[in-house]
Structure 1
Amino acid sequence: MSPKAKKGKNSITPHLRPVARPRSPTPPESPPPRSLPPETMDVTSIRNELLSALRLDVAAMFKAELREALAETLSSIKTELLAFNTELSSSLSAVRQDVASLKSTVSDVELSLSTCTDDIVALRAKVEHLTQEAAKMEDKCDDLESRSRRQNIRIIGMPEDDPNSASAANVSKLLMEAFSLVKEPLIDRSHRALAPKPAPGNRPRAIVARLHYYNDCNEILRKARELQRITLRNMSISVFPDYTPKTARARAAFTEVRHLLRGIDGVRFGILFPARLRITYAGVQRDFTSPEEAKTFIKTLNK
């Protein structure tokens, strides 16, 4: 039986029991097997028991140290988690307050936008109405201005050498000679067009004259359409109605179309007030307010 080792605090003291020596048996016929001496067996057992006990002590010490380290680590982790939880709670509270404030602000903005949208819709309707009314007023103003110019004529080509060339008396004599009138037409007033005086050699400014009687104005314009360009006193003049700038631009847009119509046989055309081109061909009469539409119609005539 192997000896038992008594564990102390820092040392292990083995307690060995006396081993009774067996009586020598009767020698067998064959030699007995060899065995280790008792001293060797005791040392090996003690060594094994010491190693086992040492392993247990090291494991216990390692477990204790590991348990202490884990306890400290867990304690620090718990402390950090608690601090993080506190900080997170305060942050969440601030975020909730901000979200609540934003919700209130968004609600106010939605209400304001809804009110603004309604106002914009109402204003858009008013603007459209006012735009239509402004267009009507513009047309009425242009019509009134055109009516105020019905007795006006515009004379182009009269040089500006004589400062009195635009006087009413001089213009009256010029019109009587140019159109072979019985007497000088009565002119209320006449003046040069409101533009800077041109340099010598440039095109002179037009003369705007207002006739006292509409019949005289109508007769002069009728003869001017027949004669086109008039040569008088070594100068070439033309007489046209005094239209507003808007009407003059609209009528001038048909200049190219009128040149195209002059090359087609059997076509009669003329511009009606304010700016409407009337074309008569093969007994069919058509009116155009756009030069593009008139050009399209002329292409069909050329075919």
Structure 2
Amino acid sequence: MATAKGKIASGTKEFFTPRPSKRREDADPQNGGGSPSHSPASAAGTSEVDLMVFTTRMETLFKEFSSSLSARLDTMSADIRKDIQEIGDRTSHLENKMSEMADNTMAAAVESLETKLLQCTNKLADLEDRSRRHNLKIRGIPETIHPRDLMAYVTDLFTHLLPRVALDTLLMDRIHRIPKPPSAPQKAPRDVILKMHYYKPREDVLRAMRKPEILGSQYDHLEIYPDFSKATLQQRRLFHPLTTSLRDAGILYRWGFPTKLIVLCDGVTTVLTSPTEGRITLESWGLQLNKDAQERRSTLKKVTPDWRQR
């Protein structure tokens, strides 16, 4: 009975003993509650060794990366320096070439050729105008006038303008209509161009047209012009500000060939060969232009070396 009670008491004591304490006692019954087999000092020493190995490895990797990066940068720098040197050499070569072009006589030669070309153009326009000097251009003749009736219609017109002129002097070599310019109104009739056989009646007709009232009600819708080349018309258009100012001031002028103005002012004849010359002359006379007359040909400027050699 004593044994049974002893077993029951020991079992009850074991039952009420906390499990962690039991496990610790069961785990190492002969340790006597001492320290574990691996001490903290031993673990700390191992960690320091591993850290030193890792640090050494990282230093080695950084040195290798730095060496590789430096070599790569040196190669790229050498390539960039080579490219910059080549660009500098090419720039110097171009600057030298530009200096030669600016210092030689090319600009003067081009300007001389441009002047000669303008002279040839004016001469060609003058020859073309001389071939048209017997021509007249009539604007406003209705399209209902048949082409075969144009000569009779124009002869009656000239007879009305020059009643004292014999019909034999009003001979026309040819007469026909010309294409309508793009700027003309759609319903406007085409112009009629004709060539007079004699030159004097042509001038008499133009002189009579200076008095518009001479046309009368029968022909007041007509306009008569001399026939000029396109180049001459363009040149005369540049003189328009000058001619307007001269008419407003009551100063007489007439056209010369090649295109120029012959002005009679205070009994003195002045020849104006360009719009710029005319503007300066009219301003010296005290006349103001509506707008400045500009040269058709621009002046060629000589190139100057404004760069800097390095």
Q: Structure 2 length normalisation: TM-score?
A: 0.57
| Aligned partner of 1:132 among 77, 92, 115 | 115
Contact 1:168 1:188 in 2 (8 A): no
Q: Structure 1 vs Structure 2: percent identity of aligned residues?
A: 22
Match of 1:224 in 2: 209
1:249 partner amino acid:
R
| Aligned partner of 1:94 among 68, 71, 75 | 75
In 2, Cα distance between the equivalents of 1:205 and 1:230? Answer: 23
Match of 1:19 in 2: none
Match of 1:178 in 2: 161
2:60 partner amino acid:
T
TM-superposed deviation, 1:211: 1.4
Contact 1:158 1:235 in 2 (8 A): no
3-state DSSP class of the match of 1:191? strand
Map residues 57-76 of structure 1 onto 2, 5 A cutoff: 68=49, 71-72=52-53, 74-76=55-57
3-state DSSP class of the match of 2:137? strand
- Residue 79 of structure 1 pairs with residue 60 of structure 2: yes
Map residues 142-153 of structure 1 onto 2, 5 A cutoff: 142-153=125-136
Cα distance change, pair 199–239 in 1 and its aligned pair in 2 (3 A): closer
Match of 1:257 in 2: 245
Q: Tell me, which stretches of 5 or more residues in structure 2 are unaligned?
A: 1-39, 290-310
- Residue 278 of structure 1 pairs with residue 259 of structure 2: no
Cα distance change, pair 78–238 in 1 and its aligned pair in 2 (3 A): closer
Match of 1:241 in 2: 226
Match of 1:297 in 2: 286
Point out the more displaced range, 289-298 or 269-278: 289-298
Cα distance change, pair 155–241 in 1 and its aligned pair in 2 (3 A): same
Contact 2:245 2:288 in 1 (8 A): no
3-state DSSP class of the match of 1:297? coil
In 2, Cα distance between the equivalents of 1:87 and 1:110? Answer: 35
In 1, Cα distance between the equivalents of 2:287 and 2:84? Answer: 68
Cα distance change, pair 196–284 in 1 and its aligned pair in 2 (3 A): closer
In 1, Cα distance between the equivalents of 2:46 and 2:109? Answer: 88
3-state DSSP class of the match of 1:230? helix
Q: Taking CA–CA contacts closer than 8 Å with sequence separation of 6 or more, which of the two structures ends up with the larger relative contact order?
A: 2
3-state DSSP class of the match of 1:167? helix
Q: Which has the higher strand share?
A: 1
Cα distance change, pair 105–65 in 1 and its aligned pair in 2 (3 A): same
In 1, Cα distance between the equivalents of 2:263 and 2:130? Answer: 22
In 2, Cα distance between the equivalents of 1:73 and 1:113? Answer: 59
1:137 partner amino acid:
C
Map residues 150-169 of structure 1 onto 2, 5 A cutoff: 150-164=133-147, 167-169=150-152
3-state DSSP class of the match of 1:239? strand
In 2, Cα distance between the equivalents of 1:176 and 1:119? Answer: 69
C-alpha RMSD of the superposition:
4.2
Select the structure of larger CA radius of gyration. Answer: 1
Alignment length (residue pairs): 233
In 2, Cα distance between the equivalents of 1:270 and 1:209? Answer: 27
Q: Tell me, which stretches of 5 or more residues in structure 1 are unaligned?
A: 1-57, 262-266
TM-superposed deviation, 1:157: 3.6
TM-superposed deviation, 1:83: 0.9
TM-superposed deviation, 1:79: 0.3
TM-superposed deviation, 1:136: 3.0
Moved over 6 A (4+): 64-67, 196-200
2:57 partner amino acid:
S
In 2, Cα distance between the equivalents of 1:109 and 1:128? Answer: 30
Cα distance change, pair 124–254 in 1 and its aligned pair in 2 (3 A): closer
3-state DSSP class of the match of 1:234? helix
